[in-house]
């Protein structure tokens, strides 16, 4: 079965229904951040270090959770907050404190462009992004364009997830989208998406049926993101590049 994507408004509706069922934003952040940490842990060498670019919304919260998890597994991690700590709400402040207590280095602003090479986790803008001219956001886009090793959470920052319009034009190695594929990602040119994954953050499939009219029985092994990604498109080779086995990477979570 080929599944459609969902729009920004539909994803907002899914989030609201999740909260009604007691699946709170912190829980969703924990699920997203854990899966992001697992993916980058498996994709990168044992001596890799990570730089998280965290926004002030839910995507930033997922990035901060990923930072805490990676640090707990012995990896070198730092978080940069382009908007600064003062812009964080209480939920993100709590996530930041947890990350700090396990040794994550935290800084306001952006890293220097000539800083030590690191895998960049793009957790700046998520599905709620709507383009407005903003100097700081343009600085973040420039930073991401100048880095060759970027992995994006939910969608590459600067993508309109309903239309696929691209305002940032950087090329991530991979994108780990949350809960369900968004329509804009299906329309995006492959080089602006990278290797593609879909993760479950605890959304009951009944929400997709009752609220969005999408009749989905997940046709996948929970340990195999390859199968999950392929369920969304007719021709995954043409439309979505799914991470393949190679000498330097593995698929699935069996080794964690």
Residue 46 gets which letter from DSSP? T
pLDDT tens-digit profile of 229-249?
666 665 543 444 443 333 333
Query: What local confidence, expressed as pLDDT, does residue 242 receive?
Result: 41
Q: Which residues of 30-42 are buried (b: 16+ CB within 10 A; e: fewer)?
A: bbbbbbbbbbbbb
Residue with tokens 């190679």: 246
Instruction: In whole angstroms, give the CA distance from residue 118 to residue 48.
Output: 7
Domains of the chain, by residue range, sit at 8-239
Assigned token pair, 80: 């940069």
Ranges of residues in the chain with a pLDDT under 50 are 236-256
Q: Which pLDDT belongs to residue 187?
A: 83
pLDDT at 228: 67
Give the pLDDT of residue 46. Answer: 87
What is the DSSP-derived secondary structure letter of residue 136?
A: H
93/241 Cα distance (integer angstroms): 35
| Among candidate residues 15, 12, 9, 65, the one with its CA nearest the CA of residue 204 | 15
| CA pair distance 105, 32, nearest whole angstrom | 21
**Which of helix, strand or coil describes residue 20?**
helix
- State the Cα angle at 123 between 212 and 107, rounded to 5°: 150
The residues near 29 (Cβ < 8 Å, ≥ 6 apart) are: 58, 61, 62, 64, 65, 91, 95
**Considering only the top CATH level, what class is 8-239?**
alpha beta
Q: What is the pLDDT of residue 19?
A: 92
Residue 90 has a CB neighbour count (10 Å cut-off) of: 7
């Amino acid at each position: 079965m080929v599944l459609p994507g969902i729009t920004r408004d539909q994803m907002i509706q899914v989030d609201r229904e999740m909260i009604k069922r007691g699946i709170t934003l912190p829980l969703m952040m924990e699920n997203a951040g854990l899966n992001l940490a697992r993916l980058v842990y498996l994709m990168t060498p044992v001596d890799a270090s990570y730089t998280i670019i965290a926004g002030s919304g839910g995507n930033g919260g997922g990035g901060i959770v990923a930072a805490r998890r990676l640090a707990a597994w012995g990896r070198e991690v730092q978080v940069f907050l382009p908007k600064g700590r003062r812009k964080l709400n209480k939920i993100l402040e709590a996530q930041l404190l947890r990350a700090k207590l396990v040794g994550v280095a935290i800084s306001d602003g952006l890293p220097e462009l000539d800083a030590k090479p690191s895998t960049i986790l793009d957790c700046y803008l998520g599905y709620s992004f709507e383009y407005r001219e903003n100097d700081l956001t343009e600085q973040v886009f420039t930073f991401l364009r100048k880095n060759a090793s970027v992995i994006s959470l939910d969608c590459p920052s600067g993508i309109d997830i309903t239309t696929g319009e691209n305002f940032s034009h950087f090329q991530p190695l991979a994108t780990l989208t949350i809960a369900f594929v968004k329509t804009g990602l299906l329309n995006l040119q492959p080089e602006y998406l990278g290797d593609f994954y879909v993760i479950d953050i605890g959304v009951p499939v009944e929400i997709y049926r009752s609220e969005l009219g999408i009749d989905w029985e997940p046709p996948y092994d929970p340990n195999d993101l390859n199968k999950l990604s392929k369920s969304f498109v007719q021709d995954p080779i043409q439309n979505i590049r799914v991470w393949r086995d190679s000498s330097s990477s593995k698929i699935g979570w069996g080794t964690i």
